[in-house]
Structure 1
Amino acid sequence: MLFQGIVLATAGFCQLAAAAQAFQKVEFTNVGFNGSFTPVKSIKNPDKDSCSCTVDDAEWFTGSNAPISAGVSVHFRGPLTLHKFAFYNSSEFSIGDNRTSADWNRVAYYDASSQTADNVTFLTNAGTDSPVLGKALTFATSNGTGASSSASVLAENTLLSSDDEFSIFSNITCPKSGTGKSCGVYRSGITAYHGFSGVTKMFLFEFEMPTETQSNSSSFSYYDMPAIWLLNEHIPRTSQYPTDANCSCWASGCGEFDIFEVMNGTERNHLYSTFHTFQGIEDLGTGIQASGYISRDTSSTMKGGVVFDSQGNTVVFVSNSTTFNETITPETLNGLVENFSSDESYSTQLASISATLPSTTSKSNAFSLFEKRAGNLWFYFFTFITSVAHTLLI
């Protein structure tokens, strides 16, 4: 690599400064804007051909990392084996600034070898099938893809095959479905949990992405195309792959971020990072993709993740020095993500969007239920309160 690529994402196209090549760190700057999406208001006849959905009034978001600052679920597609997962919050963190940054606190953790699953719920789309909504979200069995009647922990060395998926949510159950409630409207009968929220957050992974051993055929949609990505938590609770766009907030821009994703069969060993938001673009499907990629190691374990700092910087990285400690200091994390030379890093600057939020419209500033901070007593007894409330609301 001869230089660091810089990309300015503008309406309708990206002006590339370098051809796609391998890096160890992929960064996005100026992340977050004032915008809105339309949440699902109702889902009628979910299990029938006549299923239909309506959308509610626009819900506005603003600030650094928006709309990914809202609650998100974490999704995995094979071929992939997950060894460790961790989610962190920080009250303040800026890339490269140790003086004003605070520690990172681990809020959720999974370790396959010890079968630890703290504030982690494994779900998968293996429930009732719908011609419009697809298969419903349900508890996953220990192999990650089967339907279970209760929560299970993903078994050690579980290997997802091509097309197979599971997701991770928190262990905080949703209240009854409904507009204006914390989980909004969601599909009836599903296993519904909150995702992971907070403006300043980090996801770390230890995983393998081996080459698919099965022969390719027309039965595969994503043959040998593994991925790890984030979705606005509302999406999987209504429908991840609907045939009616009104049955998900995805098409209106509620938010997706692909952390490590193989995009096509000709680049099976290239992991790209992409924002699927309307920050300066109109083609949500293509999204804002960094031209630089991270190499997929098909024979060894990979460690890395994504950091969303308080200033609108998003950093995706891989490093064997990645740790999963309960607390990570600013010095440790900055030492990790800043320890890449310019020819190992790729930066993409997102467009600046000017939009005025209407004062009479509902807003979302992604208040985090998980952050430890002064006055936020919810962090310490939210699980108890939501359990009681959930019982009363059912």
Structure 2
Amino acid sequence: MKLYGIFLLAAAMVSAVSAEICMSAPDFPETQTPETQHPETQTEVPATDSPVKTQDGSTKQSFKANDADTSVLGADDATQQATQQEPISGAIQTLAGNVVSSYSYTGVNCGGPGSYDQVTNIGSCSKTTVKTTSPVSPLDTGVTLAFRGCMTIFNIAVFDGNKGSWSKVSSYEKGGAATNMVFLNNENVDYSGATSPEGFCKADGTGVANESTPFGGTLAEATNHGGTSILASQATGTEVHIMTEKRCGVDVECEGAYDKDGTAFQGWTGGKKIFLTKVSMGNCGAPNVPAIWMLPDQATHSGQYSCNCRGMGPAGGCGELDIAEVLEKDTSFISTHYYFYDGTYNPGNDQFGKRPVDGPTTYVTIIDEDYGVKVLEIGADDFDFSCGAISDDVVKQWEAAK
């Protein structure tokens, strides 16, 4: 992901799917979230509103920000923060759809055991070495998806495979409800550098909101490209990133340093997870480089491309997976690249697929410790985002796709 400023990252429509795509299935049994320890430094838990009902009938908590503080969880192994995630009931996706393009990161190209420098203090940018052990490290830690405009996001779904089946744990649809998903950006800038620029975004992805706000689904082009602003919405295109609703230091421990202002949330953990996004990337004003990419949540919790575990360029540290990024050298294509550890391996493809200008397409990102890492493009309506699970056979077909 190209860097465009000090704090910038690397720089309701429902799918009309025929009934045969999904087989009906019983609701998933409720699972219990294990108790977690709180940080040693105790802070007041931010006040929250009572839960409210979303359009799909699920319960969603309203989160608010309060005064900033920072905390850190040190670890010798980045895999320790995995937590149970509540499955979302629904039918089972049983068709793989039409694979338009695919790219695999396997063997040495998908990471594996290694080490990187984790931020332990944001203000001083202190770091400590963390060792990883998973075949898909460093992406087995909590991760976030980031999106940059100009882009329309129709659907997002996250599936967890760490308990033996691929069950949906988070979802979003444009103009509708988000379940176990919080939208944030990097415009809550503290120019002293003492705290993270991460904060709640407004409905259009810009600015700073006082509480978690429903996302409208549209990310605009840059409003002042070529100017001096360090804000993505002005310099490169509006950016948002997503997390689960698990609050760091309150509901679960999170790795690395993070602010205790109520805006630090955990990403999706574990060595088996799938992310699906249905998006369009129409042409827009300069720099005209929409993108989707994955980062460890601890990178966005600290300074992102200022003080963070990721670093810059091929030396990817705790990792960055560019899923579908438009490059300036040819804005008619999307690219995929993966950066991690010391940069010895940084595979990718500058022309992974055609840019979805005239309508949406669906991208599938697989993190599977039994396979590796894979990015695919399938037909826009080849996946039913209302499904609650993906069959093992579909996942195997995706992983085998050329």
Q: State whether TM-score is above 0.5.
A: yes
Q: Give a deviation string over 1:147-177, Cα, whole Å, max 9, x none.
A: 1111111115x2332421011000000107x
Report the residue type matching 1:26 in the other structure.
Y
CA positional deviation for 1:206: 0.6
Distance 1:23 1:151 in 2: 35
Distance 1:273 1:304 in 2: 11
- Structure-2 residue corresponding to 1:271: 334
CA positional deviation for 1:331: 2.0
Distance 1:228 1:131 in 2: 29
Q: In the superposition, relative to structure 1, how do residues 328 and 312 fare at CA in structure 2: closer, same or farther (>3 Å)?
A: closer
- Structure-2 residue corresponding to 1:144: 205
Report the residue type matching 1:306 in the other structure.
T
Distance 2:397 2:348 in 1: 26
Is 1:112 matched with 2:174?
yes
Q: In the superposition, relative to structure 1, how do residues 298 and 189 fare at CA in structure 2: closer, same or farther (>3 Å)?
A: same
- Structure-2 residue corresponding to 1:175: 249
Q: In the superposition, relative to structure 1, how do residues 165 and 34 fare at CA in structure 2: closer, same or farther (>3 Å)?
A: same
Q: In the superposition, relative to structure 1, how do residues 190 and 249 fare at CA in structure 2: closer, same or farther (>3 Å)?
A: farther
Q: In the superposition, relative to structure 1, how do residues 336 and 278 fare at CA in structure 2: closer, same or farther (>3 Å)?
A: closer
Q: In the superposition, relative to structure 1, how do residues 303 and 133 fare at CA in structure 2: closer, same or farther (>3 Å)?
A: farther
1:128 aligns with one of 162, 186, 189? 189
Distance 2:179 2:360 in 1: 22
Contact 2:122/2:196, CA 8 A, preserved across alignment? no
Q: In the superposition, relative to structure 1, how do residues 135 and 211 fare at CA in structure 2: closer, same or farther (>3 Å)?
A: farther
Q: In the superposition, relative to structure 1, how do residues 133 and 269 fare at CA in structure 2: closer, same or farther (>3 Å)?
A: farther
Distance 1:78 1:276 in 2: 22
Distance 2:396 2:103 in 1: 15
Distance 2:357 2:170 in 1: 27
Contact 2:244/2:267, CA 8 A, preserved across alignment? yes
State which drifts further: 132-141 or 195-204: 132-141
Long gaps (5+) in structure 1: 1-21, 45-51, 93-101, 217-222, 346-394
Number of aligned residues = 280
Report the residue type matching 2:165 in the other structure.
D
Contact 2:334/2:351, CA 8 A, preserved across alignment? no
- Work out the percentage of aligned pairs sharing the same amino acid: 24
1:90 aligns with one of 158, 161, 170? 161
SS of match in other structure, 1:230: strand
Long gaps (5+) in structure 2: 1-98, 223-235
- Structure-2 residue corresponding to 1:55: 127
Alignment of 1:352-371 (within 5 A): none
Q: In the superposition, relative to structure 1, how do residues 91 and 189 fare at CA in structure 2: closer, same or farther (>3 Å)?
A: closer
Distance 2:153 2:196 in 1: 23
- Structure-2 residue corresponding to 1:250: 310
CA positional deviation for 1:112: 1.2
Is 1:165 matched with 2:165?
no
Q: Give a deviation string over 1:314-339, Cα, whole Å, max 9, x none.
A: 2211112123211111123334554x
Is 1:27 matched with 2:89?
no
Q: Give a deviation string over 1:338-379, Cα, whole Å, max 9, x none.
A: 4x5xxxx3xxxxxxxxxxxxxxxxxxxxxxxxxxxxxxxxxx
